[in-house]
Amino acid sequence: MTAPQDPDRVLIFDTTLRDGEQSPGISLNTTEKLEIAHQLARLGVDVIEAGFPIASPGDFEAVQAIAREVEGPIIAGLARANPADVDRAWEAVRDAERPRIHTFVSTSDIHIVHQLQATREDVKGLARASVAQAKEYCEDVEFSPMDATRADLDFTAEVLQIAIDEGATTINIPDTVGYAMPQEYAEFLTTLYERVPELRDVVLSVHCHDDLGLAVANSFAGVLAGARQVECAINGIGERAGNASLEEFVMLLHTRAADVGLTTGVNTREIARASRLVSRLTGYAVQPNKAIVGRNAFAHESGIHQDGVLKERTTYEIMDATTVGLDANQLVLGKHSGRHALRAALEELGYQVDGQTLNTAFKRFKEIADKKKQVTALDLEALVTDELREEVAAYTMEWFEVEASSRRPPHATVGVRTPDGEVVQGAFTGDGPIDAIFRAINAATGLDARLRDFRVDAVTGGQDALGEVSVVVELGPNAGERIGLPGVLLRERATGAGQAVTTDIIEAAGIAYARALTNAVRRMQAQAADEASEPTAELATP
């Protein structure tokens, strides 16, 4: 597929699973990525950038699974401008209904000189060869000149001309470091159209980072200048300050449709659910005042505002909360609800569960319904998402005991199943019950992990609400030795995030901590494997 038929239709290219997944501490497994990809398909995005297949075997497996299973959107795989990357990206996406290879190389001198340690001529050659190679495999090829907004415009135009001549069908202009200003970015695109008239025959795309808080504004300026694809991520996650937030951009076009006249194919009623799913699986909380999906985005605190909204909603609201799916939480089950009711409720939420999965979900539902009077749609969603995290070959907390008192320091003992299946025990006396349980898990596993982030949220309101705990850990210097990788020096810190949902937050904290350890160890193993393959300068990650 190339340009959309309707000139006013803006394609939404979601990069939650690629640029978003590059955010520090995020490490999603294949099941979690698939779950997000299915939700993105329900949301109606046009393109899912499913990952960076050459980055690790795990990335490859996830992109391939998404390409094979998720119907509707184009499935794209990212590739640096070198033959091995393009081959690997094609291998991963080739089974998709509509595959795309997205290849890139930097055009800014800062990157060419310092990172690639190459010349402009080299870059032209890399762009030519990678697009030509991708085109042999796949009709749909996207090319990005990385760091374009800090690059020489004429040189970038030359590279784009080469990419188009070789058959690129989408040209994406990244503001890689979030440096551009809206007016300047629009002028950059307008001048590129003048220098390379063939840009009008392909889809022009924008990819903006949020370092100055301008990612959505720059993307909007880009579409006003003629771009018809916007690369964005749910909740705006991504490298550093993140990418343009999908929900903000989509709701901007939706809310101001009469003035802007541009549309997307997004079903806005799926936005809230997509946001919750991504937040829960990545462990990245959504700030309460975040536009569109923040807890307070539709809340009115001042008396004057409340009074106005009660009389007429539009006095203080420019959007209706139902438009973004914030009303889809009415469904309620209780402890007398049976298996059929649970399955019907889960189906209404978009989850198909049968057989053993339904049995497990029902067992957990009953446990929760015993403790909680009403189990709401939000509870069920949290429960099902939590089930997705159950994995083999992971650290899992099997049992725990915590003694907490104001008279003596809290003491915790835990049993942890290691990835080898062995159950090991550890004990610790900490500053608080949660600190004690975390350190007891360290003692049991022998990993000297440090806590980097810890958050507890209630899934719904009320005293009996389910507690959702998110943890980020960083592995200490002894980790390599403990996991059979002695002497490994890593480029990045080995961090990992984990989440868990139960009615007992101490238990949830322990489960989440063990999951975070698993993810950090996997990240360390992947990095070690990556470094063992001795990457060259032009193979540095995007």
Instruction: Quote the tokens at residue 410.
Output: 């809290």
DSSP state at residue 159: H
Residues in 194-253 that interact with ligand KIV by CB under 6 A: 207, 209
Count of chain residues binding ligand KIV (CB under 6 A): 10
Residue 122 burial (10 A CB sphere; 0-12, 13-18, 19+): middle
Smallest CA-to-CA distance from 520 within 35, 64, 24, 53 is with 24
Residue 139: how many CA atoms within 13 Å on its side-chain side?
Answer: 7
Residue 361 binds which one of ligand KIV, Zn ion, none, with CB within 5 to 8 A depending on kind?
none
- Nearest residue (beta carbon) to ligand KIV: 174
Of the candidates 13, 60, 104, 395, which one interacts with ligand KIV according to CB under 6 A?
104
For β-strands 411-417 and 396-403, DSSP reports them as antiparallel
What distance separates the 2 farthest-apart alpha carbons in the chain? 77
| DSSP line for 395-463 | -EEEEEEEE--SSS--EEEEEEE-TTS-EEEEEEE-SSHHHHHHHHHHHHHT---EEEEEEEEESSSST
- The three-state secondary structure class of 94 is coil
Residue 196 binds which one of Zn ion, ligand KIV, none, with CB within 5 to 8 A depending on kind?
none
For β-strands 495-502 and 467-474, DSSP reports them as antiparallel
- Residue closer to ligand KIV by CB (options 60, 438) is 60
Contacting range for ligand KIV; rule: CB under 6 A; set: 170-178, 376-384, 407-415, 482-490: 170-178
CB atoms under 10 Å from CB of 97, counted, come to 12
Residue 174 near ligand KIV by CB under 6 A: yes
CA distance 327 to 166: 48
Residue 426 binds which one of Zn ion, ligand KIV, none, with CB within 5 to 8 A depending on kind?
none
CA distance 509 to 520: 16
**Under a CB-based contact definition with an 8 Å cutoff, are residues 95 and 64 in contact?**
yes
Contacting range for ligand KIV; rule: CB under 6 A; set: 1-9, 169-177, 297-305, 387-395: 169-177
Residue 104 binds which one of Zn ion, ligand KIV, none, with CB within 5 to 8 A depending on kind?
ligand KIV
Q: How far is the CB of 207 from ligand KIV (least distance, A)?
A: 5
Q: How far is the CB of 147 from ligand KIV (least distance, A)?
A: 6
Contacting range for ligand KIV; rule: CB under 6 A; set: 53-61, 66-74, 172-180, 316-324: 172-180
Residues in 21-40 that interact with ligand KIV by CB under 6 A: none
Of the candidates 10, 13, 16, 19, which one interacts with Zn ion according to CB under 5 A?
19
Residue 46 near Zn ion by CB under 5 A: no
List C-alpha distances in Å: 323 to 254, 308, 378: 10, 20, 18
Contacting range for ligand KIV; rule: CB under 6 A; set: 168-176, 358-366, 439-447, 514-522: 168-176
- Residue closer to Zn ion by CB (options 48, 333) is 48
Contacting range for Zn ion; rule: CB under 5 A; set: 14-22, 93-101, 457-465, 532-540: 14-22
Of the candidates 107, 176, 445, 519, which one interacts with ligand KIV according to CB under 6 A?
176
Residue 144 near ligand KIV by CB under 6 A: yes
Residue 518 binds which one of Zn ion, ligand KIV, none, with CB within 5 to 8 A depending on kind?
none
Cα Rg, the chain, nearest whole Å: 24
**Under a CB-based contact definition with an 8 Å cutoff, are residues 228 and 11 in contact?**
yes
Contacting range for Zn ion; rule: CB under 5 A; set: 15-23, 43-51, 361-369, 472-480: 15-23
Binding site for Zn ion (CB under 5 A): 19
Binding site for ligand KIV (CB under 6 A): 19, 104, 144, 146, 172, 174, 176, 207, 209, 542
